[in-house]
Structure 1
Amino acid sequence: MMTSQGDRPGVHMAAEIAEQPAVLAGLLDRRSDIAGVADAIAKRPPRFALLAARGSSDHAALYAKYLIEVLLGLPAGLVSPSTVTLYGAQPDLRDVLLITVSQSGGSPDLVEFTASARERGALTVAVSNTPSSPLHGAAELAVDIGAGTEKAVAATKTYSATLLSLYLLIDAVRGGKGADAEGIGELAQQALDGSVDSVQRAVDRYRFVNRVITAGRGYSYATALESALKLAETSYLAARAYSGADLLHGPVAAIDEETAVLAVTSRGKGGGAMGDVLDAVSSRGADVVAVGSAAADVPADVRIALPETAEELSPILEILPAQRVALGLSLARGVDPDNPRGLNKVTKTR
Structure 2
Amino acid sequence: MAADVAEQPAGYARLLEPEHANAIAQVAATIAERRPRHVVFTARGTSDHAALYAAYLTEIRLGLPAGLASPSAITVFGARPDMSDALVVGVSQSGGSPDLAEVLRVARSTGALTLAVTNNPSSPLNEVAELSVDIAAGHERAVAATKTYTAELLALLMLIEGVRTGNGVLDAPERAALATLPELAARTLADPTPGELASRYRFARRLVTTGRGYAYPTAREAALKLMETSYLPALAFSGADLLHGPLAMADPDVPVLAVVGSGPGGTAMREVIARLGERRADVAVIGPADIDGAAARMPVPEVDERYAPLLDILPLQQLALSLALARGEDPDAPRGLKKVTATR
What TM-score, normalized by structure 1, do the two folds share? 0.94
For 2:285, the equivalent position in structure 1 comes to 290
Which piece of structure 1 moves more, 86-95 or 262-271?
86-95
SS of 1:88's equivalent in the other structure is: coil
Q: Which residue of 1 aligns with 2:12?
A: 24
- Contact kept in structure 2, 1:25 and 1:183, CA below 8 Å: no
| Structure 1 counterpart SS, 2:308 | helix
Shift of 1:293: 2.0
| Structure 1 residue aligned with 2:26 | 36
| Pairwise CA distance, 1:200 | 2.3
The one-letter code matched in structure 2 to 1:164 is L
Q: Is the 8 A contact 1:213 1:259 kept in 2?
A: yes
Asked whether the equivalents of residues 144 and 225 of structure 2 are also in contact (C-alpha less than 8 Å), the reply is: yes
- Aligned-partner Cα distance in 1 for 2:280–2:318: 25
Q: Which amino acid aligns with 2:132?
A: A
Alignment of 1:40-55 (within 5 A): 40-55=30-45
Q: Tell me, what secondary structure is at the counterpart of 2:214? A: helix
Identity of aligned residues (%): 56
Quote how far apart the aligned CAs of 1:31 are: 1.1
Q: What RMSD in Å do the two structures reach over aligned CA positions?
A: 0.9
The 10-residue stretch of structure 1 (85-94 or 51-60) with the greater mean CA deviation from structure 2: 85-94
CA–CA distance in 1 between the matches of 2:278 and 2:336?
38
**Contact 1:228–1:239 (CA<8 Å) still a contact in 2?**
yes
Are residue 253 (structure 1) and residue 248 (structure 2) matched? yes
Deviations 1:141-188 (A, max 9, x none): 000000000010000000000000000000000115142312111110
Partners of 2:95 and 2:195 in 1: how far apart?
35
Change (3 A) 1:276 1:48: same
1:278 to 273, 277, 280: 273
In the alignment, structure 1 segments of 5+ residues that lack a partner are 1-12
Q: Is the 8 A contact 1:210 1:237 kept in 2?
A: yes
Deviations 1:15-58 (A, max 9, x none): 00000000011111121110000011011001111000000000
Instruction: Verify: 1:314 aligned to 2:304, yes or no.
Output: no
Counterpart of 1:246, as a letter, is D
The alpha-carbon deviation at position 279 of structure 1 amounts to: 1.0
Which of 316, 332, 345 is matched with 2:339 structurally?
Answer: 345
Matched, 1:151 2:118: no
1:82 corresponds to 2:72: yes
Q: 2:184 aligns with which of 182, 187, 190?
A: 187
Residue in 1 that maps onto 2:326? 332
Q: Secondary structure at the match of 1:224?
A: helix
Secondary structure of 1:125's aligned partner: strand
The one-letter code sitting in structure 1 at the alignment partner of 2:99 is D
Q: Which runs of 4+ in 1 moved over 3 A?
A: none
Partner of 2:81, secondary structure, is coil
In the TM superposition, what is the alpha-carbon distance from 1:292 to its structure 2 partner?
Answer: 1.6
Distance (whole Å) between structure 1 residues aligned to residue 292 and residue 298 of structure 2: 11
Letter matched to residue 188 of structure 1: A
SS of residue matched to 2:34: coil
CA contact (8 A) 1:215 1:242 kept: yes
Name whichever of 35-44 and 169-178 sits farther off: 169-178
Tell me whether 243-252 or 22-31 shows the greater mean CA deviation: 22-31
Determine the structure 1 residue equivalent to 2:298. Answer: 304
Asked if structure 1 preserves the Cα contact closer than 8 Å seen for 2:274 and 2:292, the reply is: no
- Greater shift, 297-306 or 215-224, is seen at 297-306
What's 1:3 paired with? none
Q: SS where residue 87 of structure 2 aligns?
A: strand
Question: Offset of 1:87 from its aligned partner?
Answer: 1.2
Residue matched to 2:108? 118
CA distances 1:203-260 after superposition (whole Å, capped 9, x unpaired): 0211111110000000000000000000001000010000000000000001111100
Structure 1 position 160 matched with structure 2 position 150? yes
